Amino acid sequence: MLNLKGPQGRWNFFMIAGILGLYGLIQLLAAAKILLSYHLQILSLACINIILVVSLNLIMGFTGQFSLGHAGFLAIGAYLSASLTVFYQLPFWLALIASGLAAAFVGVLIGLPALRLRGDYLAIATLGFGEIIRVIILNISAVGGPRGFTGIPRHTTFGLTYFLMIAAVVIIKNFIYSAHGRACISIREDETAAGSLGINTTYYKVVAFAIGAMFAGVAGALFSHYMQFISPTTGQIGFMRSVDILIMLVLGGLGNLTGSVVVAVFLTFLPEFLRGFAEYRMLIYPVLLLLMMLFRPEGLMGKTELSYSYLENIFSKFKRKGLRPDGTN
């Protein structure tokens, strides 16, 4: 159950208050017409990107399995949910669940054989799977083929995206702190050693892959029902989209959840506020990627999570500083 006692409990309480407060504030500003639908769209896209980055973080950052096909799961979610609501008039929540499950199923289907591969081979194989999914969609004329899927009803609201994003982050965080998550981290650190300690490495890799895929599928459903249009281009559901997610993940730090969230929000906002930046985006991001790998491969925030214990540390340092008049600790 949720712990609301003690210092950690206070932190939890403030977190929940903060999450609800932020939501209330945004809704208030939207009602007062200070935030227009354009702003809400950016905020929703930021939430969708957070779901994508955090779910890829589970696969790559915590389990150490290099996937370049994350957008493939997004594609499955986006197209399946759109087909369900457009052709079968299913309610959106049902389509949302179905697309998450379908993406997870495909994740298991792909993961079982592919996760036998390691490192760069896995990266290429997942890239291949992602592109095959895209080519298959390109060849289904019922969903528009190369012209794209139009006329999707707008069911996604900012609130839904926001709370699903929170749910994704909380579920993945709790997964990582569970025994399952620990097993995944041990696979990242040393797969052979983890196996020799009796961890069923294939099982945990596939579980992480399926959970990551599921959230990517949900993000896809949210995406298509927000944009009301989706096209099978590589920038939207193909390799370039996977790379986009990867860039956010790497900048935030592999294996750093709060880093993923912060960078996903930042990189979604940046092109909107700097119009010129959008043009040079694909020139600047790769350089950033290179510099990160050269000088700070652990991500901008490194291993530091913005958590209770981290903030408490900073806070206590402040307090200690106050005690000494000479300024030393």
| Of 196 and 309, CB closest to another protein | 196
Both structure tokens of 274: 């700097």
Choosing from 138, 185, 219, 301, the residue that interacts with another protein (CB under 8 A) is 138
Long-range contact pairs involving 287-290 (C-beta distance under 8 Å, separation at least 24): 288/247, 288/251, 289/247, 289/250, 289/251
- Apex CA 75: angle with CA 157 and CA 113, to 5°? 135
Supply φ then ψ for residue 165, to 5 degrees: -60, -45
Q: Which is nearer to another protein, 106 or 218 (CB)?
A: 106
Our CB check for another protein shows the closer of 24 and 119 to be 119
Least distance (Å) between residue 281 CB and another protein: 8
Q: Which of 19, 101, 199, 289 forms a contact with another protein (CB under 8 A)?
A: 289
Q: From CA 71, how far away is CA 55, in angstroms rounded?
A: 11
Q: Indicate the helix (H) or strand (E) that contains 232.
A: none
The answer to whether residue 142 forms part of the interface with another protein (CB under 8 A) is no
Q: Does 136 bind another protein (CB under 8 A)?
A: yes
Task: Give the residue, chosen from 283, 319, 324, 329, that forms a contact with another protein under the rule CB under 8 A.
Answer: 283
Residue with smaller CB distance to another protein, 123 or 164: 123
**Minimum Å distance from CB 87 to another protein?**
22
Q: Which structure tokens are listed for 183?
A: 């097993």
Give the x/- contact pattern for another protein in 95-134, rule: CB under 8 A: ------------------xx-xx-xxx-xxx-xxx-xx--
192 binds another protein (CB under 8 A): yes
Identity of the residue, 279 or 312, whose beta carbon is nearer to another protein in the bound complex: 279
Tell me if 286 contacts another protein by CB under 8 A: yes
Our CB check for another protein shows the closer of 7 and 286 to be 286
DSSP SS3 for 151: coil
Should residue 243 be labelled a site residue for another protein when binding is judged by CB under 8 A? Answer: yes
Q: How far is the CB of 257 from another protein (least distance, A)?
A: 18
Per-residue binding string, another protein, 58-97, x by CB under 8 A, is --x---x-x-x-----------------------------
Q: How far apart are CA 35 and CA 122, in angstroms?
A: 43
| Minimum separation from the CB atom of position 114 to another protein (A) | 8
Asked whether the beta carbons of 255 and 301 are under 8 A apart, the reply is no
Q: Tokens in use for 11?
A: 């932190």
Q: Which residues contact 174 (CB under 8 A, 6 or more apart)?
A: none
3-state SS, residue 203 = helix
Contact at 8 Å (CB) between 213 and 35?
no
CA distance readout (Å), 296 to 23, 129, 241, 253, 302:
33, 30, 23, 9, 8
Residue 160 lies near another protein (rule: CB under 8 A) = no
Can residue 213 be called a binding residue for another protein (CB under 8 A)?
A: no
Query: Does residue 282 belong to the site contacting another protein (CB under 8 A)?
Result: yes
- Contacting another protein (CB under 8 A), which of 167, 293, 306, 311? 293
Say if residues 114 and 265 touch (Cβ distance below 8 Å).
Answer: no
Helix locations, the chain, DSSP H:
6-31, 37-56, 70-87, 92-114, 119-138, 158-177, 179-189, 191-196, 201-227, 234-237, 239-252, 257-273, 275-295, 308-323
Residues at the site binding another protein, with contacts judged by CB under 8 A:
60, 64, 66, 68, 113-114, 116-117, 119-121, 123-125, 127-129, 131-132, 135-136, 138-139, 146, 192-193, 196, 239, 243, 246, 250, 254, 282-283, 285-287, 289-290, 293-294, 297
